[in-house]
Chains A and B, each alone.
Chain A
Amino acid sequence: MEISERELRRMVADSDDQHRAAMDTFTEDNRGLIFETAPSRRKFLAGLGFGSAAVVVGSAVLPMGRLMPRAWAQSAPSDSDIATFAASVEYAAVAAYTAAAKSGLIKTPAVLQAATTFAGQHQQHGDAFKAAGTNPNVMANKGVLDSVTPQLMAAKTENDVVALAYGLENAAAATYIFALGVLNNDKAYNAVASVMPVEAQHAIALGFVLGKTLDDKTFMPSFETADGHVDPAKNPAA
């Protein structure tokens, strides 16, 4: 059966109407997608920003979920809340290094010295963030500890321990890059921006111990990224 030209024109017009209706929102959808790609404070909360679905600390994928205070689900965190979260991550790093030093697995004196020094620096970081934060009683981040502890217990060599610390330092650096995308006040910015480079340098020192080479992008990236950051939505400070 053949169709009339009139029928064809009607079908094409219908199709065109449908297409235009869909495309009307396409540009707006894209605009929203593009300009909201940056981690807004709300997305920092939801962990959608630059963050991947999970963060790798050492070799474990950190489960993203439990850590954020319930209050954060109701409203976006303030800079002070973010500082408290950062303090919890730092205190978790202190705990990790302390446990590593006590494990007996670190035999090289220089590595043991580095672990002790870095633990002390993370303590200072935590204290500075705590002072800028909302919770004077903030403790080590449970989510990070839950990820790191089994790995530490399973470690058998000095390299295992150093690899765990290396992952933790890179995760910390990434977390601060993530946070910098939303912080507004001087105090919070200065705290994060003065700590982030130090975590990166910790990673370099540990990377040398592990024999990392310059072509390893986790060791010597062209740009720091927020990939692998500790997500406050899933790992809230206590």
Chain B
Amino acid sequence: MDINNDELRRELRDLDKEHREVMPKWRDSLRRLMDDKETPTEAKADLLLGGFNRRRFMNLSGLAVVGGAVLAACGSDKKNSSSSNGSTASTAATTATTAAAAKTDQTIARTAASLENFAVAVYDKAIMNAAALKISDPVAKAAVLFKSQHTEHASAFNAAATQLGGQPYTDPNPTAAKAFEATIAALKTEQDVLKLAFGLEQIAAQTYQGVGMKLSTPMLRQTSMTVGGVEARHMAILAHFITPPMTVPAAAFQMTDKAIDASFYV
């Protein structure tokens, strides 16, 4: 059977027009996805690679994959390619070390999520009892904002935990909840709330700094500090409302003496 040439030309022209209309939108969407700093890399990969990306491929192969280190090692950096031909004798050791590092990364991400969940719970309590605690409007506004930001932080850390092969953690940190139970029950004034919140933000800020070198890749450390920096800002804002006035920053370098220890890990 022969096909009418005019009909064919018309259909091809229509297809081409449709394609040309769609491609700019596709390019724009792709650019926005790539520029999105909050969408995790893995999510972007899943979206664009149909759920089959290099990390998952390696997981399916039984190899433990940790953060960006393996990706970098397997990446297109040809300069390092000659040095990547390690002996088989070191492969087992490397795999074991990588597995341990992955586990640590997962634990830290989950623990961070749990701390954020705890912060959400504390701010929520303050908001729900704002009238009884005589919380002023400016402080209430800060509490509402900080609660929402800690919710975002928890989501980000849980996304990281999931990407690292772990399970998300959606409850408040149990050790923190127990440690501060009495303090929370004794809250009576706005200043009580501010001082508690300041203390918690300080613990969080120092923790995200302190876990840095326990994390296996620079990217994970960077992720941790994108949150740690915000907790530091929270501290400064809360300090603004505390009386007598607090000086923040009190020193040139943030310390880590108030960072949580392993007893808080989940």
Q: Which A residues are within 8 Å of any B CB, using their own CB?
A: 1-5, 8, 27, 30-38, 40, 42, 50, 120-121, 124-125, 128, 173, 176-177, 180-184, 186, 189-190, 193-198, 200-205, 208, 214, 219-225, 227
Of A3, A121, A125, the contact of B5 (CB 8 Å cutoff): A3
User: Does B126 count as interface, using CB distance less than 8 angstroms?
Assistant: no
- In the bound complex, how far is the Cα of B44 from the Cα of A164, in angstroms? 36
Residues of B within 8 A of A197 (CB): 205, 209, 228-229, 231-232, 249, 254
Sort A-B residue pairs by CB-CB distance and give the 7 closest, nearest first.
Answer: A197-B232, A224-B229, A204-B236, A121-B252, A124-B252, A180-B222, A181-B222
B157 to chain A, nearest CB (A): 11
Residues of B within 8 A of A128 (CB): 253
- Is the pair B226, A5 in contact by a Cβ cutoff of 8 Å? no
Residues of B within 8 A of A195 (CB): 252-254
Q: Please encode chain B, from 22 to 60, with 1 for each CB lying within 8 Å of some chain A CB and 0 for all others.
A: 000000000000100110010011001100011000000
- Is the pair A34, B44 in contact by a Cβ cutoff of 8 Å? yes
User: Does B213 count as interface, using CB distance less than 8 angstroms?
Assistant: yes
Residues of A within 8 A of B231 (CB): 197
- Is the pair A194, B4 in contact by a Cβ cutoff of 8 Å? no
- In the bound complex, how far is the Cα of B228 from the Cα of A164, in angstroms? 24
- Is the pair A35, B41 in contact by a Cβ cutoff of 8 Å? yes
User: Does B92 count as interface, using CB distance less than 8 angstroms?
Assistant: no
- Is the pair B213, A8 in contact by a Cβ cutoff of 8 Å? no
Residues of A within 8 A of B240 (CB): 204, 208
User: Does B149 count as interface, using CB distance less than 8 angstroms?
Assistant: yes
User: Does B2 count as interface, using CB distance less than 8 angstroms?
Assistant: yes
User: Does B219 count as interface, using CB distance less than 8 angstroms?
Assistant: yes
Q: Please encode chain B, from 198 to 224, with 1 for each CB lying within 8 Å of some chain A CB and 0 for all others.
A: 000000010001001100001101100
- Is the pair B44, A124 in contact by a Cβ cutoff of 8 Å? no
B153 to chain A, nearest CB (A): 8
User: Does B63 count as interface, using CB distance less than 8 angstroms?
Assistant: no
User: Does B248 count as interface, using CB distance less than 8 angstroms?
Assistant: yes
Of B149, B218, B249, the contact of A121 (CB 8 Å cutoff): B249
Known: A2-B4, A180-B225, A197-B205. A32 touches B76 (CB 8 A): yes
Task: Give the segment of B67-75, B158-166, B167-175, B181-189 that binds chain A.
Answer: B67-75
- Is the pair B1, A5 in contact by a Cβ cutoff of 8 Å? yes
Residues of A within 8 A of B1 (CB): 5
Q: Which of B121-164 contact A (CB under 8 A)?
A: 141-142, 145, 148-149, 152-153, 156
User: Does B260 count as interface, using CB distance less than 8 angstroms?
Assistant: no
- Is the pair A198, B252 in contact by a Cβ cutoff of 8 Å? yes
User: Does B237 count as interface, using CB distance less than 8 angstroms?
Assistant: yes
- In the bound complex, how far is the Cα of B219 from the Cα of A194, in angstroms? 17
Known: A34-B45, A198-B249. A223 touches B38 (CB 8 A): yes
- Is the pair A201, B222 in contact by a Cβ cutoff of 8 Å? no
- Is the pair A2, B5 in contact by a Cβ cutoff of 8 Å? yes
- In the bound complex, how far is the Cα of B245 from the Cα of A208, in angstroms? 14
Residues of A within 8 A of B152 (CB): 222-223
- Is the pair B221, A189 in contact by a Cβ cutoff of 8 Å? yes
B43 to chain A, nearest CB (A): 10
Residues of B within 8 A of A124 (CB): 252-253
Closest A residue to B245 by beta carbon equals A110
Known: A32-B76, A37-B34, A223-B156. A2 touches B2 (CB 8 A): yes
- In the bound complex, how far is the Cα of B234 from the Cα of A223, in angstroms? 11
Q: List 22 A-B contacts (CB under 8 A).
A: A2-B3, A3-B2, A3-B3, A4-B3, A5-B2, A31-B54, A34-B48, A35-B71, A37-B34, A37-B44, A121-B251, A121-B252, A128-B253, A177-B225, A195-B252, A196-B225, A201-B235, A201-B249, A205-B236, A220-B237, A222-B149, A223-B153
